[in-house]
A and B are shown apart, each in its own frame.
Chain A
Amino acid sequence: MLDKIKNINKKISALAGSSMEKFTTLTSRAIPLAIENVDTDQIIPARFLKTTDKQGFGDNVFRDWRFDKHGSINKNFSLNNPKYSGSILVAGDNFGCGSSREHAAWALIGYGFEVIVSSFFADIFKGNALNNGLLPVQVSEGFLKTLLETVEAHPETNIEVNLENQTISIANSDVSESFDIDTYKKTCMINGYGDIDYLLSKKEQIEAFEAEQTL
């Protein structure tokens, strides 16, 4: 538990500052979310987007699935089930569709997630996650099914994610799969670099490009 709190604090400090959290490997239990097309309105409903900083969104992640209309805890929702824990979320196909709100990534990080596993991610969400050091791991439908079944049957199972080798494995088993990630983005994740640093280093070329425009 203490580790989890430390980890959350570390994440919050990363959100508050400009540098991105580095990511290399992670071994953790996972929380299953066997729902397809999870949209960013579910991850963080619009009514929580009124603040002007990046903090506090974790409290409201999946708000309307975690709580009913009266504010009572929905015990059937996996995030509320005490048998599940960990900083890996294993979700159904097409995770993160809908709105471009980066608040969705901030909310997942704020809650304590470091990796999201799905068989498919929406574009904008994927980019937002990577820009905040939250690793989207895209796996095959078959592997996702195995992972969901394993975690649901044996919640104590550890999942190992190795970004360097681009592999995701079920600990103490031979169940493993490799995943794709853009080489540039991988370097950024491992070293905690953000795109903004790269772009700032290209200022001269950008100005030269502007000067060339004739229309």
Chain B
Amino acid sequence: MGKTLFDKVWDAHVVNSVQNGPQVLYIDKHLIHEVTSPQAFNELEARGIPVFRPNQIVATADHNTPTLNQDLPIKDELSRKQLEQLSENCAKNGITLYELGHKYNGIVHVMAPELGITQPGMTMVCGDSHTSTHGAFGTIAFGIGTSQVAQVFASQCLLLTKPKSLRVTVNGKLKNGVLPKDVILYIISKLGTNSGTGYFCEYAGDVFENMSMEGRMTVCNMSIEMGARGGMIAPDDTTFEYVKGRKFAPQGKDLDKKVTYWKTLPTDADAVFDKEYVFDAEDIEPMVTYGTNPGMGIKISETIPVDDNASFKKSLEYMNFAAGESLINKPINFVFIGSCTNSRIEDFRVAANFIKGKQKADNVTAWLVPGSKQVEAQIIEEGLKGIFENAGFELRQPGCSACLAMNDDKIPQGEYCVSTSNRNFEGRQGQGSRTILASPLVAAATAVAGKIVDVTKDIETLEIVSH
């Protein structure tokens, strides 16, 4: 029987197996940030265990950083200390850190791919559930807890039970105005938030084959929102072209050797998955969520379903939405374009294309938060900054920002935010905030209209975002 992409990468990293138990999996790259690493460093220090392979660890500050005045000392004392702790820990252990203000600083899942740290066939971990993003390169990448961060520090390995395999295939041609974010929100709305638990997911079919690396990262990023520890897409020429020439990418003959190996990774034709789902691209439309988990999504033209389940009702009550109603024309006062899901250059190009020559509605506060310093620089270089500013949008400095609202970027109590982030949990964007997940296009259109609008009805939009 043939092997899956996942099998091939996994099997190449197994060091050892515990009898009737988990396997010892070797980890190629370990990404760390300020929030989930300090307790792991403390544990190692308390036990006198050195960091085993500091050269395979890369650190950034992203979760708890301000998106304004990054050159000034951080006002919040706890946040400042957390960042100082990261700097100290990295210096003490010889770990490369792209700290706040560094030209390579950014959200961990944006900066690692753009620096060529993420490469096909690798195993990668980070104390962050959206590490699944890196699966876009044909990488086994998944989020871990802080105890596991300490384990990787100590041994560059983890004890893991091999997950089951799941494949989601989407064939056909996406309609105009349907973006990678819509594809993944659609899949999660069909499969639910726990369908992937215990599985690693592979996305296959021409929709993903025809997607840019940025789009593939958006899709893989949200694998965890259906419970899957990770999601992967087979590496192909699009992948190799993206990796080639990046700062930490292999070069010359090394690259040729790697590409030859990477080409052997795609799933064999006779491989069998534990679970398979197939969807039709034609059925996907721009999506919005109406509830308090990412599985509660509908096509923007649909109405909220009716369900008697108590948790479902509690969710609608929190959102102050009624079963059976449409979200079209709901007034929205906050729009956030950012997060590790949608803060790459392509996302800002989509937004800028739509916004160009328009004005944001008076009632809307619109935050645009690039995923990294490099994305920020590119926004300026491509002249997008002027478009945003002329339209009344606020371009901020890079970081996780209002996706999890650890910093000051909080959505006020009771307010709706149309957000390109990944979680619409209660209070995720600030106490009492109400999140509606959507693509950068839907978010931009909302900011301009001051309410949710059906972008599929906007002919101009469809011309702009054509494939």
Contacts and interface: CB of A to CB of B under 8 A. Distances in A.
A184 B22 contact: yes
Interface stretch (A21-29, A171-179, A198-206): A198-206
B406 A196 contact: no
A120 interface: yes
B129 A100 contact: yes
A131 B194 contact: no
A93 B310 CA distance: 12
A39 interface: yes
B426 A41 contact: yes
B169 interface: no
B127 A97 contact: no
Interface string B257-286: 110010000000000000000000000000
B197 A122 contact: yes
Nearest to B154: A196
Contact of A49 (B20, B24, B35, B156): B35
Given A47-B405, A49-B406, A215-B257, A97 B413 contact: no
Nearest to A36: B311
Interface class of chain A by DSSP: loop
Interface in A66-122: 69, 92-94, 97-102, 105, 120-122
Residue from A52, A101, A105, A215 having most chain B Cβ neighbours under 10 A: A52
A37 to B, nearest CB: 5
Interface in B299-333: 309-311, 314
A52 B293 contact: no
B238 interface: no
Interface string B401-429: 00011100000010000000001011110
B386 interface: no
Nearest to A92: B311
Contacts of A35: 310-311, 314
Given A42-B426, A52-B85, A124 B20 contact: no
Contacts of B54: none
B227 A206 contact: no
Given A92-B311, A94-B194, A128-B147, A46 B129 contact: no
B1 interface: no
Contacts of A192: none
B219 to A, nearest CB: 18
A46 B18 CA distance: 36
Given A184-B18, A215-B258, A52 B82 contact: yes
B145 A47 contact: no
B21 A184 contact: yes
Interface string B10-36: 000001101011101010000000011
Contacts of B210: none
Given A50-B82, A52-B42, A182 B22 contact: yes
A47 B404 CA distance: 8
B155 A200 contact: yes
Given A47-B406, A123-B229, A215-B257, A37 B311 contact: yes
B185 interface: no
B145 A209 contact: no
Contacts of A206: 15, 24, 26, 52, 155-157
A18 B161 CA distance: 23
A156 B431 CA distance: 34
Interface string B70-101: 00000010110110010000000000000000
B39 interface: yes
Interface stretch (B43-51, B241-249, B340-348, B445-453): B43-51
A3 interface: no
Interface string B38-69: 11001100110100100000000001100000
A212 to B, nearest CB: 10
Contacts of A123: 163, 197-198, 227, 229
A122 B413 CA distance: 28
A53 B24 contact: no
Contact of B423 (A41, A53, A215): A41
Measured as residues with beta carbon below 8 angstroms from the partner, the interface class of chain A is 35 or more
Contacts of B150: 196
Contacts of A49: 35, 63-64, 406
B145 A127 contact: yes
A205 B26 CA distance: 11
B128 interface: yes
Contacts of B406: 46-47, 49-50
A132 B147 contact: yes
B465 interface: no
Contact of B405 (A46, A98, A184, A200): A46
B350 interface: no
A77 to B, nearest CB: 12
Interface string A23-65: 0000000000011110101100111011111100000000010
Interface of A: 17-18, 34-37, 39, 41-42, 45-47, 49-54, 64, 69, 92-94, 97-102, 105, 120-124, 127-128, 131-132, 182-184, 194-196, 198-200, 202-203, 205-206, 209-210, 215
28 contacts: A18-B47, A37-B292, A41-B423, A46-B405, A47-B406, A47-B431, A50-B76, A50-B79, A52-B38, A53-B42, A93-B194, A97-B227, A98-B129, A98-B423, A100-B127, A102-B145, A102-B146, A105-B145, A122-B197, A124-B129, A127-B144, A184-B18, A184-B20, A196-B49, A199-B151, A205-B24, A206-B155, A210-B156
Interface of B: 15-16, 18, 20-22, 24, 26, 35-36, 38-39, 42-43, 46-47, 49, 52, 63-64, 76, 78-79, 81-82, 85, 127-129, 143-148, 150-151, 154-159, 161, 163, 193-194, 197-198, 224, 227, 229, 257-258, 261, 292-293, 309-311, 314, 404-406, 413, 423, 425-428, 431-432
